[in-house]
Amino acid sequence: MFADRVTKSMVAIFLSAVAAARASGTPVVPVLVGAGPLEGELRAQAAAAGVPAHFVGFKNQSELPPFYAAADFLVLPSVSETWGLVVNEAMACGLPAIVSETVGCAPDLVTEGETGFTFPTGSEAGLMASLRRCVEQCRAGHDFRPALAARMQVYSVEAAVAGLLQAVRTLRSEGGRA
């Protein structure tokens, strides 16, 4: 799992939720992808809470596949995210996603328990509950991949091209009226 493109408060909440989940017996080991001036403070928070967090720094998009391959799920706890393309990438790799309700793709990509989980933005308890549910389903052998594959077909490049072509055909048939 990893968190990316999130604010200080959300990363701090994420680390607190991981600590709480671990304290209740849910074995979560976070890998945080990204870099910034708050890394030292966040490392200190993780260490103080006994969270074995791995901070791997900034990674170019082309460097992300090994992280997806090693992860069990993705966490994107952003306060504001227009869409959250990282969720598409993770789901295309077969990973369920845990996202805050203000991540733009949440209503379209995340179906509770099928393709991932959502939680109220800023809620440590909500994030911890989503972490626990996701880990429990993973441990029980739940296979998220069929639902993820079906969802990704709807949001594929091919589907986008087909939609664009249909829009062009519609405009042409209407004589260019929009």
Q: From 42, 41, 126, 28, select the one nearest 77 (Cα to Cα).
A: 126
Query: Per the confidence metrics, is the pTM higher than 0.85?
Result: yes
DSSP state of 63: G
What is d(CA 28, CA 15) in angstroms, rounded to the nearest whole number?
10
Residue with tokens 């017996």: 25
Both structure tokens of 144 = 């998220």
What is d(CA 34, CA 152) in angstroms, rounded to the nearest whole number?
25
Instruction: Indicate the length of the chain as a whole number.
Output: 178
Q: For the domain 8-173, what is the CATH code?
A: 3.40.50.2000
- Written as tens digits, the pLDDT of the chain (178 aa) is 444 444 448 999 999 999 999 999 999 999 999 998 889 999 999 999 999 999 999 999 999 999 999 999 999 999 989 999 999 999 999 999 999 999 999 999 999 999 999 999 999 999 999 999 999 999 999 999 999 999 999 988 898 899 999 999 999 988 755 5
Is residue 125 within 8 Å of 143, Cβ to Cβ? Answer: no
